[in-house]
A and B are shown apart, each in its own frame.
Chain A
Amino acid sequence: MTVDLPALPGADLFNQRLRYRKAQGNVLMILGIASILIGLGVLLLLIADVLIRGLPWISADFFSNFDSRFARSAGIKAAVAGTVYMMFFTIIVALPMGVMAALYLEEYAPDHWVTSFIQINISNLAGVPSIVYGLLGLTVFVRFLELGRSVMAGSLTMALLVLPIIVVATQEALRAVPSGIRDASYGVGATKWQTIWHHVLPHALPGILTGNILAASRAIGETAPLITIGALTFVPFVPNGPLDRFTVLPIQIFNWTSKPQAEFHALAAAAIVILLSVLLLMNSVAIVLRNRAVRRRAG
């Protein structure tokens, strides 16, 4: 678009300015695209680097060996076992608590100050640095409840850490349930709980599961709070029960990264490949669930 009236005084100047003004927009757009490429480029570089360093080290032995002073014979058996144990108990605690809290806030809570206090509280908890949860776990679970530096202490700490994520995601899923479903259930004489249990929850289930998977993938990658409660960095055994000591995959990665030798860095890269693969798998499941839920709502 230019102004085609050269006879108008100043039209040349205007057109010249207009070209400049439009060029500004293009520059901004190019800078925006460049910024995205920088972010995604770093991500690709990171993935390529750990693949190149780590892949040659991934073998059957890598999964079946415990950690070792010698890079050649070191593996992630204890770390994988510890991660599985810890995540199991984390989910068992956090999922029901988070879903119940969300149910109360969305379906029952009266609209007064206690409710808004709880709500503000939960959003503030989401902003607390993860290492502070570690200090909480250290005093409350490790010392006060005398669980020691065990799987259980780690799981409970992690459960509190992901609770806000689960609550918020579940609330969103519940809010998306059409009110017609509730009305119809009440209309045939169901009680509040019957309505929730038989109609609201099943309808919100995909959304709730997505939120829980995202929360779990956050917990799987967390390192700092577990270091603080004293999960071990060198563990040549599989935990025997919830009260045994343990390590997890991210701590194993941290431990190997902290060593000066390049061989251990390669081991760390190999463990990162495993960790990222698990996260990718979990996120894919979450995305599939979300898409299915969206499609069902639309259809």
Chain B
Amino acid sequence: MRLFRERAIQSVLFTAAASGILATFGIIFSLAGETLNFFRQVSPLRFFTETEWTPLFSIQKFGIWPLVSATFLTSIIALVIAVPLGLLVATYLSEFASPRLRGVLKPALEVLAGVPTVVFGFFALVVVTPFLQGFIPGISTFNSLSAGLVMGIMILPLVASLSEDAMSSVPAGLREGGYAMGATRFEVATRVVFPAAISGVIASVILALSRAVGETMVVAIAAGQNPTLTLDPRVPVETMTAYIVQVSLGDTPYGSLAYLTIFAVGSMLFLLTLLMNILSHWVVRHFREVYD
């Protein structure tokens, strides 16, 4: 009886753990199924070669590139902010700050990471864009610059915290070796610690990019809903995630072509972020310096 109960509990727990796998299969099958339905009606050739995205208009074009370019435009702007600032924060926290100060500053930055993305979207549209309009001529109400900048501040804690973890785990002996050779703090930080932690730093940058690419509310609110193939950060664009939001907000009939497009776009988004996440794990595993 006792044995039976133990067995039963173990199998219940296993079922719960396996449900995570079910979720993954759920994601893959729901995306793949509707994406296949989409490609039955629209050839993949059009999806990958056309340069306009107008599935909701009467003349339908299905080129994914305007959405992809907007996604990467906003994400790159975000990285331009988040990577240098994040790495400086990480270096300061790991190499310069006292443990007490670090104990205060790290949680404070975590608060920044805990603010809901819709709030950052509000901030981008209502505060940052009017501010930018004050000195950048020709910048419109919806633009990728404002969305990218705010997204950069939003993912700064991610870059900072992951890079700081990587730098802190560099053994103290390496630093002491550097100091013993007469190196200054700057030299130890940049030429000993940073190279030793480089795999973790690169992984944090890739994860930040993945987060920015998958980020939805900031770009849906502040970057606009105009699929345009452009690198001009002042004009409205539409990212992949913003397009999914736009279609979801409308009354799109189930099974219609417009309904299917969000799954095709979603698949693209899923594959891109999956690729980046796998890449970042791979970087950590293959380039990590192991010290004993």
State the A residues within 8 Å of B (CB): 18, 21-22, 24-25, 27-29, 31-36, 38-40, 42-43, 45-46, 49-50, 53, 96-98, 100-101, 103-105, 108-109, 117-118, 121-122, 124-125, 127-136, 138-140, 143, 160, 163-164, 167, 191-193, 217, 220-224, 227-230, 233, 250, 253-254, 257-258, 265, 268-269, 272, 275-276, 279, 283, 287
Contact = CB atoms under 8 A, between A and B. Distances in A.
B116 A28 contact: no
Contact of B115 (A43, A121, A127): A43
Contacts of A227: 245, 248-249
Interface in B187-216: 187, 189-190, 207, 210, 213-216
Interface of chain A, helix or strand or loop or mixed? helix
Closest 8 CB pairs of A and B: A32-B92, A129-B214, A221-B116, A100-B16, A139-B30, A104-B13, A25-B186, A224-B216
A131 B269 contact: yes
Contacts of B189: 25, 28
B2 A191 contact: yes
Interface of chain B, helix or strand or loop or mixed? helix
Contact of A109 (B17, B33, B96, B263): B17
B248 A228 contact: yes
A104 B187 CA distance: 47
Contact of B217 (A38, A109, A143, A254): A254
Given A100-B16, A104-B17, A272-B122, A45 B92 contact: no
A262 to B, nearest CB: 9
Contacts of B263: 135, 139
B14 interface: yes
Contacts of A193: 5-6, 9
B16 A101 contact: yes
Nearest to A118: B17
Interface in B254-292: 254, 262-263, 266, 269-270, 273-274, 277-278
Contacts of B23: 125, 136, 160, 163
A140 B33 CA distance: 12
Contacts of B185: 22, 25, 28
B80 interface: no
A133 B13 CA distance: 24
A128 B207 CA distance: 11
Contacts of B254: 143
Contact of A139 (B34, B127, B245): B34
Contact of B10 (A36, A108, A163, A222): A108
Given A118-B21, A128-B273, A46 B127 contact: yes
Given A25-B186, A136-B26, A254-B221, A129 B109 contact: no
B287 to A, nearest CB: 19
B99 interface: no
B105 interface: yes
B116 A32 contact: no
B186 to A, nearest CB: 4
B214 A39 contact: no
A32 B117 contact: no
B245 A253 contact: no
A40 B31 contact: no
